[in-house]
């Protein structure tokens, strides 16, 4: 499973990149707003650090606006993936940009038929949001299993990117369900390496050694 970081914070992106296991980055307008920085400038800074796919979302919600912003975002760097909402206009823009060779990430996907449609339109990535489905009382993991089954049945090449991941249990379940990619906040990446027995075991190894040899 590929690992992306879901943030627009440059320091977190650098720290995750330094671990040597980061495959890409996803951003969205809310994440950029939280940083209070210019979207285009920050995307360029991110692409200078990470060579894998960097998702850059459009703000427009109409077809012409999405195409204009999509072209602008795609100019920033070769590894930019244009992120579009899964709507009628977004689907049309996905198809047009994909036909031009610009990779797309279809976001705000909440049911398997949306994933079927964006795969038919040529999307590079589809982003089902697990946490936000959990928030309204659904089991967000259901959609990951359903999309995996649909994509495998018909041989769609669109990558299944599990998004809106809130904790490590989501990560375990995504890996078991066969998600191609998971995009994760930095705090979850840190927790993926943590276990109390690792900490206590390490402490004991070091103290036993020091007791014996000083």
Give the relative orientation of helices 112-120 and 88-99 as an angle to the nearest 10 degrees. 30
Residue among 3, 6, 16, 43 that touches ligand E4P (CB under 6 A): 6
**Does residue 127 bind ligand E4P (CB under 6 A)?**
yes
Residue among 40, 52, 65, 131 that touches ligand E4P (CB under 6 A): 131
Q: CB of 127: closest distance to ligand E4P in angstroms?
A: 5
**Does residue 26 bind ligand E4P (CB under 6 A)?**
yes
Please state whether beta strands 2-6 and 159-162 pair in parallel, antiparallel, or not at all (unpaired). unpaired
**Annotated active-site residue in 14, 41, 83, 191:** 83
Asked whether the beta carbons of 14 and 195 are under 8 A apart, the reply is no
Q: CB of 149: closest distance to ligand E4P in angstroms?
A: 22
120 classed as catalytic:
no
**Does residue 158 bind ligand E4P (CB under 6 A)?**
no
Rounded alpha-carbon distances, angstroms, from residue 143 to 45, 106, 110, 171:
33, 15, 7, 14
DSSP secondary structure of 63-74: HHHHHHHHHHHH
Site for ligand E4P in 172-191 (CB under 6 A): 183
Q: Which sequence positions are flagged as catalytic?
A: 83
């Amino acid at each position: 499973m590929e690992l992306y970081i879901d943030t627009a914070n440059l320091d977190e992106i650098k720290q995750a990149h330094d671990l040597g296991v980061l495959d890409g980055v996803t951003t969205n307008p809310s994440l950029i707003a939280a940083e209070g920085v210019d979207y285009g400038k920050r995307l360029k800074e991110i692409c200078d650090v990470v060579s894998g796919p960097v998702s850059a979302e459009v703000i427009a919600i109409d077809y012409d606006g999405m195409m204009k912003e999509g072209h602008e975002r795609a100019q920033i760097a070769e590894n930019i993936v244009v992120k579009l909402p899964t709507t009628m206009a977004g689907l049309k823009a996905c198809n047009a940009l994909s036909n031009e060779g610009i990779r797309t990430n279809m976001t705000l996907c909440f049911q398997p038929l949306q994933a079927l449609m964006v795969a038919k339109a040529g999307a590079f990535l589809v982003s089902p949001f697990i946490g936000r489905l959990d928030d309204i009382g659904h089991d967000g993991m259901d959609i990951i299993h359903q999309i995996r089954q649909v994509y495998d049945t018909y041989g769609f090449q669109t990558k299944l990117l599990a998004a809106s991941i809130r904790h490590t249990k989501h990560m375990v379940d995504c890996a078991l369900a066969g998600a191609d990619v998971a995009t994760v906040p930095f705090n979850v990446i840190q927790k993926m390496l943590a276990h109390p027995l690792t900490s206590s075991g390490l402490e004991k190894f070091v103290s036993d050694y020091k007791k014996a040899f000083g």
